Structure 1
């Protein structure tokens, strides 16, 4: 008997989104590696399923140690199913190290597709979907977050982020500082649930809304990429100063912006120095 490893997407809110393949996997698998075993049991209860598989906890703190054992079980002929609390395993959730080890061992790996908070929020945002990137959770520390956002300043694809409710306001304010308040964005919460909500508008308006009352539930932030239109010298100077304030060397920030914008490096550097001098007066 040939074993295999399956990554199974679980509902992100509405249990009715559980696929027939997920239902079969939960009842027929030999081993289920779950991010939270209690949530898995609750999901099975709500789906009215009987789980006979051995259920093993697989989370960020033990995945490195558990990966080898799970792969050996698949090598031995067992069907190992990996599930996260919601959505697709490996996408800001455990599972990557298990897949990495399985691929190295020549184990068959397949996916049972299903709900995705990333794609659901992207589709709801009203922003361009032809090209996008997923950035997961931004760093929690203010300086690290500012540097991460500065590094995305030239990104032209629509960007999707996960965020915790209590950090949403600070993150949106940081985005305003890094990219300007007029950048279009959307904040989605409680996706597929009864109180699902998506707010759309300029970053500055969304930041004000988040500050006024902390939104609850799981949050996805979708932000438009930078316009392909050539930026003005003033905009480039502002972006360079923001990156310098976040800890980047002025020469490095100017070199990067000059390359992406086509503006002569000497002219941009001179404008940045002049702006810094004016700010000191």
Structure 2
């Protein structure tokens, strides 16, 4: 058996890096998750906007790169946005990175991107590592419909208020959380959302990567979820669909009948509310008949 190289001996040639704002994804733990395109952009950048200069300096050093760094944290994002617009207008390449992962996901880079877009200047995403997507892959829960909520409020009352707005949804939920608050957050989720299937993922792509799976109440009581260290992403599966009431069904049918014949209206509402089509069709005929009598 012959040894195979760890990577292809040849790769597509790099494309020219033209002036604009480049949203560069960086590794969330494993430095080998850096992409070739991200390295091309960072090597060509006239300035790199960063959350923490120390973190980005270590990243660049790992690849033998040097760059001019300017802060873009919560306190400096407005000034960073002005800098980006000025530099790109002057024909420069501006890269923006977060401390780890994909920019604009729960970080201040959004302000910069909005300013550059408003100025009519080019913005380019450089895809790469994302704790959100990594957690979804690892959780083993449905990923066809997903709602990313980011960090929940730190206090229980406010946290429950937010969770209550998410309860009726029929999609998988994704949260960021800190270790000290994790167990309390899981308890509140179980209380408000119901005891859904969930996964707590931690230290994604790193040496001690971990995924703890179970119901929300089981996870809240699990010793591994009591103030663990590291970056944490919680994935919560969709809840059971609540049966639509008669008023909701009639309202949906009435709206659909304003656009469609009874058969098509019943089929549309059947898909939307996950209800059998045949009784909906009979109800649609009844509503249509009542409407015609009312006009007469």
TM-score in terms of structure 1 length: 0.78
Alignment correspondent of 1:225:
238
Partner of 1:170: helix, strand, or coil?
helix
Of the candidates 48, 65, 75, which is equivalent to residue 50 of structure 1?
A: 65
Partner of 1:135: helix, strand, or coil?
strand
Gaps of 5+ in 2: 1-16, 246-272, 276-296
1:211 to partner: Cα distance: 7.6
Q: Output the CA distance in 2 between the equivalents of 1:193 and 1:165.
A: 16
1:210 to partner: Cα distance: 5.0
**Structure whose CA Rg is larger:** 2
Q: Output the CA distance in 2 between the equivalents of 1:184 and 1:94.
A: 32
Q: Output the CA distance in 2 between the equivalents of 1:18 and 1:261.
A: 43
Alignment of 1:185-196 (within 5 A): 185-196=198-209
Alignment of 1:74-153 (within 5 A): 74-153=88-167
Gaps of 5+ in 1: 233-259, 263-281
Alignment correspondent of 2:57:
41
1:63 to partner: Cα distance: 0.5
Partner of 2:49: helix, strand, or coil?
strand
| 2:37 is aligned with 1:24 | no
Q: Output the CA distance in 2 between the equivalents of 1:210 and 1:109.
A: 44
Q: Output the CA distance in 2 between the equivalents of 1:2 and 1:27.
A: 12
Determine which structure has greater relative contact order: mean sequence separation of CA pairs < 8 Å that are 6+ residues apart, divided by chain length: 1
Query: Could you give the per-residue CA deviations for residues 204-255 of structure 1, whole angstroms, max 9, x where no partner exists?
Result: 01000158742111000000122225399xxxxxxxxxxxxxxxxxxxxxxx
Say if 1:210 and 1:132 are closer, same or farther in 2 by CA, change over 3 A: farther
1:11 to partner: Cα distance: 0.2
Partner of 1:89: helix, strand, or coil?
coil
Alignment correspondent of 1:270:
none
Partner of 2:21: helix, strand, or coil?
strand
1:46 to partner: Cα distance: 2.0
